[in-house]
Amino acid sequence: ILFISHQWLGLKFPDKNGDHYNAICRSIIDICNRKEVDMSKLWVWVDYTCIPQRNRTMKFAAINSLPIYASVSTFFVIVTPEAMHADLQKLCNAATYQKRGWCRLEQMCRFMKSGVDNMYIFTDHLKELTEDRDWYSESVRVFDGEFTDPNDKNYLVDILISLWCHVYRNYENGVNSLSYQVISADKDAIFPKQYFGELVEYAEEHFTTIIQDNEEMKTAADSFNAIKSLREEHADESPRGRVFML
């Protein structure tokens, strides 16, 4: 799976003039050549075609699955060639993309689950994100990003805390990943108390106990169910109560 992350270039249509389409095609060809991937076996996830646009129920169900696709993708490509927004007549580029909260979320999901390997950014050519620590160190500050509706931030708590527990559990098992290093160094900004309360500390304590007691959590669903139980247990102490969106 190749996941495409991009900023829409229009209010209703994401790429009216085909600027991103051309960049996506070039990215696919480049990755298939670099990684010796058979293009006929490559699946590409792009929001406008993979999220139903007319049926609201299906649309929001697909949006809720977006972090999963981002986190499990084999390749992750940020598409940010310079182009004009068709309706606002403003220049869009890597800088404006990086300001968007939902764009940061997509990057964060992939980074926390699989690290920065096979993550790329396309401006005028394809570049590996391993070459740009400043970029992904900023990306993980999802709550500092811009959201059209700031209330959307409430829906991200369970997603991010579940992924952090995946990273933290691996660390406790001896895997000192890049994602653990980057996130643990900036944890207060990445998990602001306004939204997370003490949930991060509760979760870390919970998973440390599980590991010390040699209990197994075999799947991501196990991790999420554990977080769900913690949210219910500490709901009165959480600034935002309980929201289960994953």
- pTM here is 0.84
Residues 242, 113, 208, CA angle at the centre, nearest 5°? 65
Residues 121-158 pLDDT 10s: 999 999 999 989 999 999 999 999 999 889 889 888 88
For tokens 């009165």, the residue is 236
Residues 162-193 pLDDT 10s: 888 888 888 877 887 899 999 999 999 999 99
Q: Which residues contact 136 (CB under 8 A, 6 or more apart)?
A: 107, 111, 116, 119, 129, 182
With H, G, I as helix, E, B as strand and everything else as coil, classify residue 128: strand
Provide the pLDDT for residue 183.
94
Mean pLDDT for the stretch of residues 193-203: 89
Provide the pLDDT for residue 238.
53
Give the mean pLDDT of the chain.
85
Provide the pLDDT for residue 203.
82
Q: Percentage of the chain surpassing pLDDT 90?
A: 54
Residues 67-118 pLDDT 10s: 778 888 999 999 999 999 999 999 999 999 999 999 999 999 999 988 999 9
Provide the pLDDT for residue 15.
95
With H, G, I as helix, E, B as strand and everything else as coil, classify residue 121: strand
Q: 113: closest CA among 150, 153, 167, 155? A: 167
Provide the pLDDT for residue 244.
35
Q: Which helix (H) or strand (E) holds 57?
A: helix 56-72
Comparing 244 with 20, which gets the higher pLDDT?
Answer: 20
Residue 100 DSSP symbol = B
Q: How far apart are CA 243 and CA 227, in angstroms?
A: 11
